[in-house]
Amino acid sequence: MEVSDIHCGKQLQVNFSPQGSVPIPCAAYLTGAAAIPGTGFFNGSVMVGSPVLHPIHTAALQITRPDPVSNPLAAKAPSIVHIRGLPPPASTPIDVVIGDPAGPVGMTMATTIVLEVNAVSKKTLSPLEIDIIALMKKIGVKIDTGAKAETAVKAHAGAEARAGAKAHAGVTVTSGANITAANSTALVVTDAGGNVLAAKKNFDIKHPNKEGWRLRHACVEGPEAAVYIRGRLKENNVIELPEYWKGLINYDTISVNLTPFGRKDDLYVKDIQEDRIIVAGNHLKNVNCFYQVWADRLGEFVVEYEGESPADYPIDQSDHSIAGYHYDVRN
């Protein structure tokens, strides 16, 4: 059957059951004469938007932007999902609930988030509100401590959850680091400088040779503050070390990688001196190889430590800079 319009005056139910068995009613919305008006129930899945963007069954509720070709009028809507409450001050902390103690949920986000936080003047604050306001202060959101938060406060750059970012049951927001508000099952506000440390240190640039594309790389990570040099030896068996390595690196940590080019060669490191590395092998007159030299910088470096933030680092970190933390707590 195909019709242009259907008006359902009270309740719509799409309730499948195997042949011969009675459908399970929706107790939340009731049925029959007691049914809550204007309700709908589907015991399967619902898709809203473009089926092209959701070609496979992945969720009970799948939402996309409408297809501009097949439904151009619907595609003009600026947002995919817009949740709106009653006029202020009718908003409550449970207007939007994701998970609860009886049914916790995980969340994976590959998106950009801009948070606008509006708080209403109150004489008393709940423990959850105190947690959130304390966190907002910590991340630099301006708050009037007379229990009134400035309206339309925004958490900008750091309130971005990039690909791979995860939130667990609305309590922990992970964008490389965890922020946990005690007793919290509500929204946790984050900020780029709010002690949220990125999981990956990336740079993102315009693609050098593909129009309309971009290029993203990430930094190499390891349990040391390493420096390196690399290059090529041709008819020479001496790797010259930078003069500035003196007083910078621990010479006992030097490692050397040699890669012969053009033929097999029995190359090895004969000696490591303060300003050079001597290479030996079977064809010293015709050495042809690539090299990498790595070394650890002087000073202590603790990889794992107990604490709640980088401020708890157990040794002096005056020569350290932590992305997303030190940029906003140092002058």
pLDDT recorded at residue 119: 47
Residue labelled with tokens 């195997």: 18
Of the candidates 278, 260, 282, 259, which has an alpha carbon nearest to the alpha carbon of residue 269?
278
Q: Which residues contact 199 (CB under 8 A, 6 or more apart)?
A: 164, 165, 174, 175, 176, 177
CA distance 225 to 37: 65
Of the candidates 97, 204, 194, 202, which has an alpha carbon nearest to the alpha carbon of residue 154?
194
Determine the Cα angle at 102 with ends 99 and 104, to 5°: 35
Chain-centroid distance of CA 24 in Å reads 40
Burial call 52-64: b when 16+ CB within 10 Å, e when fewer:
eeeeeeeeeebee
pLDDT recorded at residue 171: 33
Per-residue tens of pLDDT for the chain, all 331 residues: 889 899 998 999 999 999 889 989 899 999 888 999 999 999 999 999 999 988 899 999 999 999 999 999 999 999 999 998 888 777 888 888 998 888 999 888 776 666 555 544 444 555 666 666 666 655 554 444 443 333 333 333 333 333 333 333 333 333 333 333 333 333 333 433 344 445 677 788 898 899 999 998 888 888 988 999 999 999 899 999 999 999 899 999 999 999 999 988 889 999 999 999 999 988 777 899 999 999 999 988 899 999 888 888 898 887 777 765 655 554 4
pLDDT recorded at residue 74: 93
pLDDT recorded at residue 324: 58
CA distance 52 to 50: 5
pLDDT recorded at residue 258: 95
CA distance 84 to 96: 10
CA distance 122 to 63: 37
CA distance 252 to 184: 49
